[in-house]
Structure 1
Amino acid sequence: MTNDNNTASSSSCFSELGLISPLLARLVDLEYKQPTPIQAQAIPSVLNGSDLIAGANTGSGKTATFALPLLQQLFNAKSSGKPSTNKKGNYAATLVLVPTRELATQVADSIRSYAFHLNGTVKTVAVFGGVSVNRQMLALRGGTDILVATPGRLLDLISSNAIKLDQVKTLVLDEADRMLSLGFTEELSALLAMMPKQKQTLLFSATFPEQVKALTSKLLNNPVEVQVQSADASTLVQRVFTVNKGQKTAALAHLIKENQWRQVLVFVNSKSGCSHLASKLAKHDITAEVFHGNQGQGARSRVLQAFKDGEIEVLIATDIAARGLDIEKLPVVINYDLPRSPADYMHRIGRSGRAGEIGLALSLIDYEDYHHFKIIEKKNKFRLEREEIAGFEIDESLIDPDFSANKPVVPPPGSGKKKKAKKAAKKESSIYADIWSGNVKSDSK
């Protein structure tokens, strides 16, 4: 296994990575100025046909990292007169497996966008559950160059003879830690058994827990490993606020109103919790929409698009919104409930502070959450100062002795405590102060 842990990009422009002119032209259209560290380090390896394990922060450009070189490989093969598969029919040359319907749509749309100047030579199809299978079966007639799929729907299509996998030359596992988790083990094993043993395999994720790393040796052949910590991560500020049990909703409503946030993504742990919190926020005159797995795909798509367009100010979601979704310039993510998995914490907060944009990630914890948050910190190797919100100070008699340690009271803007607010602001960096005030501007693409 080859390791590359550089933190800086080794190439200052995309033309140095060996990409062909139609792809470079599209990157100019999209105003991509220079490759991110993960792109600079991984794209040459993918072009060379190497297996790859790539880990980087969310929002660091992982989709382009595999989409660009795979498009180039397929385009060059077709330009030379070589078919993408060795047989005609319902075959796929490249398979990209993703854990959620929304991510399937997003990845496929991104691939089609990057292929804009390839004149339709590379066919991309996305398949996922929650919608009629007939249209997807029609799209797969004659096969496809790139198939983006969720495992369950793909297995359904295979059982209907709509697609075959024995000609797959490249397999991509996006959000690989989730794809290799217990929830997908049976489906993934069934799909792998249908693919050739000799193929290029690419794994991409923001996190790679130890149990996942142990499985990669069975999937990959002498892979190149690229682990980068993007400098963009510094644009995301994390904070944790302690509140009394039963006061989370009031504290959340207070923060949203006082800071006049235009877009807030709030995470809870259950589908019923989404509706319950939305009802409680309505009593504070805050309108919120929900996003969870019990909704039909059409409803989920409409809600997500409305949130991206800024038509919805507060979106309450389960962890289906934590993986891979790219919501441009999302300013604030809030953990109302802490995620059960420490790895999911990083995926949640990664919805903000993407691609160099400034972002803020808040967690609200009461005494029942305190020890779990310590585990999240330990697993993800960080430590945050415990703070309180003015007007929502915790009752010392109800909590553990160390719960209240190192927790300054921070009056948010508009609280009326100008002297204390001014003193607190001086202690913060300029980026922190800008985020907290909501006066954030960024020219980053």
Structure 2
Amino acid sequence: MVASTSMPPCRGRMRPVGMPSSANSAAASASSPGATTTNSEVRATPQVYQLDRRSGPIGGRHPVRPVHPERRARPGTMSSDMSEHARPKGAPRRRRRPPKPAEYRTPASTATTVDTPYEPTGFRELGVPEEVDRGLHAAGFAAPFAIQTKAIPVALEGKDVCGRARTGSGKTLAFGVPMLARLDGEAAPRRPLGLVLVPTRELALQVAEVLVPVAAGCDRTVLPVYGGASRHQQIDELARGVDVVVATPLRLIDLLKENELDLSGVQIVVLDEADRMADDGFTPQVEWILRKCTAPRQTMLFSATLDGDVGHLVARYMTDPVEVAIDAPTDTVGTMYHLFLAVHHMDKDRVVASIASGFAKTIVFCQTKRTCDRVEHNLQDLGVKAAAIHGDLAQASRERALKRFTDGELTVLVATDVAARGIDIDDIGAVVHYEPAGDAKDYLHRSGRTARAGRDGWAVTLAEYNQHTQVRILQRALRLDLAPPVEVFSNNPKLKDLHQFRSAD
């Protein structure tokens, strides 16, 4: 015996439901012996069967009843709506709805605009044109930082610039101001005049937010192009013509391969945080993009270090670059304090909460996305306003969490290295390494989020009993005093005022 699993067995006789008696008699006569039925008559009344749940189960199963042809698709049901709106085979596809207005064409700048009459800023003394200086004044920039003072005059002369500076030292205006000042002509559709390559989406947004109000003063447009945002809207904006594109490598390559973008007219190229792009393995992609910039161009590169793959980019794609540096290759901010704490695994989150209670904003770096989520939940259970950002979150969620942190709604941001690269917030009081950084370079990039704009900052590393060797390796690489981590518990009052650790020394 062969059992069929396509339809449950049904007891009783199947007969059409809802048909007139004449049809029933005709069906009966057709099934009676001696009756003759043509094939066309049989095909004229096909039957569709479905479970009849109205009369209840029979022997543990529901009977099956046929559906009358006129009752198969009643108006207003899902089946009728699908049949009415389905696209016929071979018919042309419907036209895509026009995109919504792109809000990120001119992203809101984090700088406070100034309504006072124009007065020349300190940038004017560096040779910056008045129209660009007006944009700087409107955005609230008054005086240049050290890296800007050194880099802008050289870049305004059209020379290639190779800048070594830490994150948060003012690199964005160091390359953005001379770029806006030296662009010549108007951008054609899909043919930008300036290109800025950055390693992460967050950095692309932040660079654009700094440059947009300055660009408005000289009638220029800036567009961030990155993955996770609407590709169609970015294409539509490029088709209208954009002067400066701030892009991540992979999304830019995607648009180039689809012929939605042409870099043959780019006059100025900037590689921001080139060492991070090299560390992430983007060097081949960066070189591929640079080969697409076929016109004579000025190239500016900014990085915390200038060795390895970064040195290869400098040697191959830059012409007689002028090196500008404001610090030593492994130096950190002078107002940054380093603290290494020995903690117990079960007490780490409480230690983080105690440290965060002494600062308005704290960033906690974790090695994995799973650790980020766990630390976020544990901190929230302890009453800390915390949120996590990492690669598994949607771009909109990451941007929303970053904005809440920037606006002061959150006191703690838990992040992975990749998600936090490019975060440019000046008033971060402490950076907590939930585990010791993998090497000195990672430690410097993480810690560079604090001690900005002349403020003091703390770089705190939490080490468990089996991580003390990593701490000593980091201390040697950073040329810090070799000292064992200070053993603490979460109830130590010094955690709420880290300066007490310095006074104890």
What's the counterpart of residue 288 of structure 2?
A: 190
- From 255, 270, 274, the equivalent of 2:355 is 255
Alignment partners' CA distance in 2, 1:122 and 1:424: 50
In structure 2, the residue matched to 1:335 is 433
Check whether the contact 2:367–2:417 (CA below 8 A) recurs between aligned residues: yes
- The answer on 1:412 being equivalent to 2:494 is yes
Is the CA contact (8 Å cut-off) linking 1:232 and 1:353 kept in structure 2?
A: no
Query: Does structure 1 residue 52 correspond to structure 2 residue 134?
Result: no
Unaligned runs of 5+ in 2: 1-120
Q: Does the Cα contact within 8 Å between 1:268 and 1:338 map onto a contact in 2?
A: no
Deviation at 1:240, TM superposition (A): 1.4
Residue of structure 2 equivalent to 1:42? 151
Residue range with higher mean Cα deviation, 179-188 or 166-175: 179-188
- Residue matched to 1:105: 205
Q: Kindly indicate whether residue 323 of structure 2 is the aligned counterpart of residue 225 of structure 1.
A: yes
Q: Cα 1:362–1:20, aligned 2, differ >3 Å: closer, same or farther?
A: same
Distance 1:347 1:422 in 2: 23
Per-residue deviation at 1:318?
Answer: 0.5
Contact 2:136 2:213 in 1 (8 A): no
1:292-333 Cα distance to aligned partner (Å, 9 max, x none): 111111111111000101111221111134422112311121
Asked if structure 1 preserves the Cα contact closer than 8 Å seen for 2:356 and 2:496, the reply is no
Kindly state the Cα deviation for residue 113 of structure 1 after the two structures are TM-superposed: 1.7
1:341 & 1:422 partners in 2: Cα distance? 26
Which of 1 and 2 has higher RCO (CA within 8 Å, sep 6+)?
A: 1
Residue 133 of structure 1 deviates from its aligned partner by: 0.4
Rounded Cα–Cα distance in structure 2 between residues aligned with 1:198 and 1:378:
44
Tell me which residue corresponds to 1:27.
Answer: 136
Distance 1:384 1:36, change over 3 A: farther
Would the alpha carbon gap of residues 109 and 284 (structure 1) be closer, same or farther in structure 2, given more than 3 Å must change?
closer
Q: Which residue of 1 aligns with 2:411?
A: 313
Q: CA deviation at 1:423?
A: 8.4
C-alpha contact (below 8 Å) 2:138/2:213 kept by paired residues: no
Which residue type is aligned with residue 20 of structure 1?
P
Letter in 1 for 2:349: T
Larger Rg: 2
Partners of 1:122 and 1:325 lie apart in 2 by 25
Q: CA deviation at 1:413?
A: 6.6
* Partners of 1:15 and 1:24 within 8 A in 2: yes
**Quick check: 268-277 or 332-341, which moved more?**
332-341
Report the counterpart of residue 279 of structure 1 in structure 2: 377
Corresponding position: 1:16 with 2:133: no
CA contact (8 A) 1:127 1:148 kept: yes
Report the RMSD for the aligned CA atoms in angstroms. 2.8
Q: CA deviation at 1:372?
A: 2.5
Aligned residue for 1:234, secondary structure, equals: coil
Is residue 344 from structure 1 mapped to residue 442 from structure 2 by the alignment? Answer: yes
**Deviation sequence 1:52-88 (CA, Å, 0-9, x none):** 11011222110000000111112xx3xxxxx256xx4
Shift of 1:30: 4.1
Identical aligned residues as a percent: 34
- Contact (CA 8 Å) 1:343, 1:380: kept in 2 or not? no
Take 2:464 and 2:307, find their aligned partners in 1: how far apart are those partners?
27
Match of 1:117 among 217, 231, 236: 217
AA of the residue aligned to 2:156: L
SS at match of 2:213: helix
Change (3 A) 1:217 1:286: same
How many matched pairs?
383
- Normalised TM-score (structure 1): 0.78
1:199 alignment partner in structure 2: 297
CA distance in 1, matches of 2:499, 2:208: 47
TM-score, length-scaled by structure 2: 0.70
Would the aligned equivalents of 1:240 and 1:384 in 2 still touch at CA under 8 Å?
no
